[in-house]
Amino acid sequence: MLHERKNSSGRDLAFKVQSYLVELEGVRERKLTTTIGSPEHREEELSESIQFDAAFDTNNSRSASGMVVRGQNGEIAASKSTLHSNVSSPYVAEALACLEATNLGISMGLNSVTIMGDSKTIIKKCKLGVRDKSVLGAIMVDIQNNKTRFQRVAFRYIQRAEYVKAHDL
């Protein structure tokens, strides 16, 4: 098959179409709001926080996840990076990074944590807790199962400029 002057298999094109549809779903549901440093956001933020980010290599279907754990005073308590193979889209890469962040919180024995990332779609799906029927479904089920291992967990969208360390990893 020929798409954008590149030879691709039908499977590759199907993955691209699926990730594009997931992207459209997130854009369609987006609402314009401005909440810069609102008190509600600060109350939502729990004692420790885990910031995550993902990088995606389309050509090789690989991704890298970076996580930074910050303590109560904002100091870096831990950091971790993980490589993933056979990743179909950037959304799957972000979901895997979020899953890794929840796993890291569990392995560190954190009771209450705020998990932060720059993917509005993934954060929204984590907050909702409903069964996801997209390609991300299995990963989102694992994240929902991990939520029960914390006493309190909050998911929050942040812009990339707010968490440079996780992005650098």
Out of 28-37, 47-56, 153-162, least confident range: 28-37
CA distance 28 to 51: 26
Q: Where exactly are the structural domains of the chain?
A: 45-163
Residue-wise burial string across 79-89, b where 16 or more C-beta atoms lie within 10 A, e elsewhere = bbbbebeebbb
CATH code for the domain defined by 45-163: 3.30.420.10
Q: How far apart are CA 2 and CA 118, in angstroms?
A: 33
Strand partners of residue 80: 67
Q: What pLDDT, in 10s, does the model give residues 37-74?
A: 444 444 445 579 999 999 999 899 999 999 999 988 88
More confident site: 10 or 54 = 54
What are the φ/ψ torsions at residue 52 (nearest 5 degrees)? -130, 155
**Contact predicate 139/101, CB 8 Å:** no
Per-residue confidence band for 30, with pLDDT thresholds at 50, 70 and 90: very low
